[in-house]
């Protein structure tokens, strides 16, 4: 299980920040130039495609690892006790049962669809 490089993590973190800022700044750009609204919208939408696609991949990998290596049972049988065990159980359970990856998948899919519609409306 090789972990992602720090530079790749930073890249996707920054992509997510840029995409979020690009969407939020549209409200201000509406008072200026419609071209900049479109540029900002495309930057935000493409950024969300990258960011949420990456996030879905990471969340799915965490879930699959918890199931594949039966981490529920491993934690249960471990000699760890008290708050540390509760914390570890929570981490394993939340990674394996979280619906967050579906939220990421839906945002990814809707962003792809929005980008396609945007291209069609702007250039088709």
What's the mean per-residue pLDDT of the chain? 94
**Share of the chain residues as helix, strand and coil, in percent rounded to the nearest 5:** 85, 0, 15
Answer yes or no: is 38 within a domain.
Answer: yes
Which range of residues forms the domain containing residue 39? 6-123
* CA 12 – CA 117 distance, rounded (Å): 24
Give the number of domains in the chain. 1
Is 1 a member of any domain? no
Q: Is residue 56 part of a domain?
A: yes
Cα–Cα distance between 28 and 20 in angstroms, integer?
A: 14
Q: In this predicted model, what pLDDT tens digit does every residue of 47-87 receive, in sequence order?
A: 999 999 999 999 999 999 998 999 988 988 999 999 999 99
Residue 92 lies in a domain: yes
Q: pLDDT by residue (tens digit) across 11-57?
A: 999 999 999 999 999 999 999 999 999 999 999 999 999 999 999 99
């Amino acid at each position: 299980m090789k972990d992602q490089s720090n530079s790749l993590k930073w890249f996707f973190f920054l992509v997510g920040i840029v995409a979020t800022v690009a969407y939020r700044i549209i409200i201000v750009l509406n008072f200026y130039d419609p071209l900049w609204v479109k540029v900002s919208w495309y930057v935000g939408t493409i950024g969300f495609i990258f960011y949420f696609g990456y996030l879905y991949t990471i969340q799915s990998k965490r879930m699959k690892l918890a199931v594949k290596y039966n981490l529920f049972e491993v934690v249960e049988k471990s000699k760890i006790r008290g708050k540390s065990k509760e914390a570890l159980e929570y981490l394993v359970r939340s990674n394996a049962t979280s619906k967050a990856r579906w939220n990421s998948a839906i945002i990814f899919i809707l962003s792809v669809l929005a980008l396609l519609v945007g291209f069609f409306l702007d250039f088709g």
